[in-house]
Amino acid sequence: MSPARAQSWRPEAGAWLIVLALLALAWPTPFHGDQALFVEMARRWHHAGALPYRDLWDLKPPAVHLFYRLGGALFGFHAQGIHTLETLYFLGYGVALHRALRRWLTQPAARAVGLVAAVGLPVAVAGPWGQTQVELLAQPPLFAALWLGLRGGRRGRLLAGLAGGVAVAFKTPFLGLVGLFWLWAAWHRPHRGLRFWAPLLVGFAAPLLALAAWAWAHGFLGALAWTLFVFPAEAALAWPGDPEQLVAGALWAATRLVGLALLAVAGLWLARRDPMARGLGLWAWGAGALIGLQTLSWWPYHYLLLVGPLALLAAAAVDRLAAVRPGWAPLAAAALIALPAARELAPAGRAWLAHPPWRDLTAHQAARYDGLSTIPAELRVGLPDGCPPGGLYVLGNPLYHHLSGCPQALRLNGWSFDILLPDQWGALRAELRRRAPQAVFVEAGQWDLIRERDPATEALLRRGWAVRRESPVGTWFSRPAAPSSGSAPPGR
């Protein structure tokens, strides 16, 4: 191999090793509440035929539930099963992205930075709450919708449309980003009429029509449409977002991504005549606007939507800088990206050293997430005889369901009740009366919200169920003995 070819090959090979290391670092990450909810819904769907929206309600669009169902069916309905699919998914994204970067960037070091920053870094810094959230899972189809829309031929635009439809199936508001990408692409294409738009729209419609047909065939198309289009608007009007939460999320992102953001600004300026770089700039601005408009909730992991465009703009900066300063530019960029990200990577690294996951996965996960030591201890006391026949209902973290193996007893989950509409609170009380689960657990931190939003729910629980245990962690209720003939159900 010639010295020049070796010089070209080594940075990208090193980048792949770093990507593999970062994905391996993220693989043992335990579940947070959202992921526990998704995997339990997927488990019930797989084993009992309980369909999303119809039998178990959640506000997320269908693609995330399909992802968890596929991961669970292939590798197991637990954190490592889902993270195995996530790892394979992002490795596939890395292969496709690497091919695209070879067509776009000239410097091997720039391609290496783009590969690490867009594939390995976001998964590794996401933490238990952010991994396998839609903001991460939608990165590959969003990139494909922009790249192929801007550079692809007719077949490429068909695939761009398909990718755009998949991105919207992960989160409905991503329609705004996809539309922005294609308007930008149309501006730079010689044919802006039907020849440009027809393949995009046909590809875009295909996955969404398939999902609609599936929902119609199983009788929940109306529930799906209400969840995706009506509920978010009504809930945003009923429960305006907390600006402190927006600031907290921005600080979370800034402490981890500040170096990436600075490089991205440089890349946008240095490559300002490049249509792809300007398209990535539109992605970043559009994602920021989308986060700001998402007033229903401003969680920190929403800012992961910014990582894709920032990472690739940072690579564009390195591409321009390495052409004139090949020695220090890639090293300076790597340090600028890695040092802020170390805030999240360091605890994961310490857990790997103290409790290698191949030796004791439980101890490793407990070292990375405090809830995994508190929740099992509470379950041992709260459910000493195991899961009751009528199931368990938790107003709080779905990890209680996941770690106990007890199915969610009601259709409405107890994790999203902070954004339930008044009618849904009424439906929750009605279902509690009708199904009367034998065990109900309310996390201690949820009582204030229940009393603020629907005090009648607390009154129903205290009238119809006996308090079996109260602790700083929460309150366990047990169902009373079956009523005698002619008497009313609990809480009437």
Average pLDDT, the chain: 89
List C-alpha distances in Å: 336 to 105, 256, 314.
20, 11, 10
pLDDT, mean of residues 34-41: 95
Name the pairing type of β-strands 474-478 and 466-470.
Answer: antiparallel
pLDDT average, residue stretch 355-378:
81
Query: What average pLDDT does range 304-317 have in this prediction?
Result: 94
Tell me, what amino acid is at 250?
Answer: A
- Mean pLDDT, range 364-370, rounded to an integer: 76
Q: Which residues contact 125 (CB under 8 A, 6 or more apart)?
A: 256, 257, 341, 344, 345
State how far the Cα of 323 lies from the Cα of 318, in Å rounded to an integer: 8
Which pLDDT value is given to residue 344? Answer: 76
C-alpha atoms less than 13 angstroms from C-alpha of 14 in its C-beta half-sphere: 15
Percent residues over pLDDT 90 in the chain? 64
pLDDT at 2 over 60: no
Pairing of strands 439-443, 392-395: parallel
pLDDT of 328 higher than 90: no
Q: CA nearest 302: which of 174, 208, 181, 397?
A: 174
Q: Which two tokens stand for residue 330?
A: 């890639």
Q: Would the CA dihedral through 65, 68, 72, 75 be positive or negative?
A: positive
Which pLDDT band holds residue 278 (cuts at 50, 70, 90)? very high
pTM of this prediction?
0.92
Give the separation between CA 282 and CA 465, rounded to whole angstroms.
54
Each domain of the chain, given as residue ranges in start order, spans: 3-354, 371-478
Given a cut of 80, is residue 483 above it in pLDDT?
no
Checking if the pLDDT of 7 tops 70, the result is no
Specify the residue for token string 């910014």: 306
Range 280-289 average pLDDT: 95
Confidence of residue 485 (pLDDT cuts 50, 70, 90): very low
More confident residue, 146 or 330: 146
CA 293 to each of CA 38, 55, 74, 302: distance values in angstroms, whole numbers, following the listed order: 25, 30, 36, 12
Of 301, 254, 317, 279, whose CA–CA distance to 142 is shortest?
Answer: 279
Q: Are 259 and 336 in contact (CB under 8 A)?
A: yes
Q: Which residues contact 483 (CB under 8 A, 6 or more apart)?
A: 489, 490
Distance CA 260, CA 427 (A): 46
Contacts of residue 454, defined as CB under 8 A and 6 or more positions apart, other chains included, come to 420, 422, 425, 428, 429
Q: 205 vs 376, which has greater pLDDT? A: 205
Q: Quick one: pLDDT at residue 58? A: 93
The pLDDT of residue 329 is above 80: no
Other Cβ atoms within 10 Å of 338 Cβ, number? 16
Least confident window among 398-407, 460-469, 474-483: 474-483
